[in-house]
Structure 1
Amino acid sequence: MAITGECFCGSIKYQIDGKLKDARSCHCSRCRKAFSSAASAYALVDPAEFTWLKGADLLSSYQSMPDFGFQFCSKCGSTLCGTHKGAPHGVTLGCINGDPDIEIGYHLYIGSKAKWEVLATGIKVFNEGPPPQN
C-alpha cells in the first residue's frame, strides 16, 4: 500500500510506493530551525519510489550543505522532504497521512538539544551522529 503525504495547506502532495526506512529524530540546532520544532522526525525513502502527485511547481528548495537540502511548500512553509543531489532523500514524518508503519529508532545530536526539551526514555541516543555502519 502506498504512503501519501502533504503540506499543511494541501497544495503539495506526494506518494511513496515502498517502505520508509531508518526513522530518526535529530536534535541539532540546524534541524530545530529547519523543522521549527524541538527536533526533526525524518525517515529515508528510495528516490525511485517517490512521486510528487500535486503542486511540485510550488516547491521551494534550500541547499543546507553541499549536495543536501530541503524542499518545502512556498505557500504554507511545511518542510516536506530532505534532498540529496536534488532527489528526495527522506520525508518529514509530520507530513505523512495515516500510519506510515515506522517508529523513530534513535535520537541524534542530543548533546546539542534544546535545554527545555525532555527526551522520552527507551530509545537509543547519540550525543552526535550514529556510529558508522559496517
Structure 2
Amino acid sequence: MISPQAPTGRILAGKCYCGAVEYSVADAFLYAANCHCSNCRRTTGSAFKPFAGIERRKLAITKGEPELMIVGQEDANDTHCGMCGSLLFSVVRGGAFLHVAMGTLIDDPTIRPTHHIFVGSKAPWFTITDDLPQYEEHVPPPKGG
C-alpha cells in the first residue's frame, strides 16, 4: 500500500490514538489547509480536518500495517487505524499524494495550514476566527492558467 522507501531529510513521527499504527513522514509537505467539507467532518468527527499534502512515497508505515483500515480504493481512500479508528491520512490525486491528518503528527511540522477550503459546506455551528483565506470549494486556479 505505502511505498517501502523510507523518507529522507528531517523525519516526523506520527501515530494513531491507540498506538497500534505508527508512521514516519518527511518534513517536506507541499501544502497545508483546513478542509471543512462534510466528508472530512464526518471522518474526523470535528469541524474541519487540518491536513498537509505530500508525495505518497515520502511516508512509511513503521508499525502496524496489518491494522490499517482502508475506506475506498487503492488510489483514493481514507486510511484509518482499524483498532481505534483514527484517520491517519487520505490518498488523493490518483494515488500520488497523501493528505496527512495533522492531528496524528507527534512531531511539529515546518508547514502550517495557509487557507480554509470547502467553507461553503462548513458546519453551521462553527465560526472560523482566524484571518486565513477562505474558499467556497477548492483553491481556485491561478488567473491566466
Q: TM-score, normalised by structure 2?
A: 0.84
- Structure-1 residue corresponding to 2:64: 55
Task: Give SS of 1:23's match.
Answer: strand
Q: How many residue pairs end up in the alignment?
A: 133
Give distance in 1, aligned partners of 2:134 and 2:14.
27
- Structure-2 residue corresponding to 1:80: 88
Alignment of 1:13 onto 2:22: yes
CA drift of 1:115 comes to 0.9
Match of 1:104 among 113, 116, 133: 113
Q: TM-score, normalised by structure 1?
A: 0.90
CA drift of 1:87 comes to 6.1
Alignment of 1:31 onto 2:40: yes
The answer (yes or no) to whether the contact 1:50–1:88 under 8 Å persists in 2 is: no
Structure 2 gap ranges (5+): 1-9
Give distance in 2, aligned partners of 1:40 and 1:34.
9
Post-superposition Cα deviations, 1:28-75, rounded to whole Å, max 9, x if no partner, equal: 1111001111011111112221111000110000118x9421100011
Give distance in 2, aligned partners of 1:76 and 1:86.
24
Structure 1 gap ranges (5+): none
Of all paired residues, the percent bearing the same amino acid is 30
Q: Which runs of 4+ in 1 moved over 2 A?
A: 84-88
User: What is the root-mean-square deviation of aligned Cα atoms in Å?
Assistant: 1.8
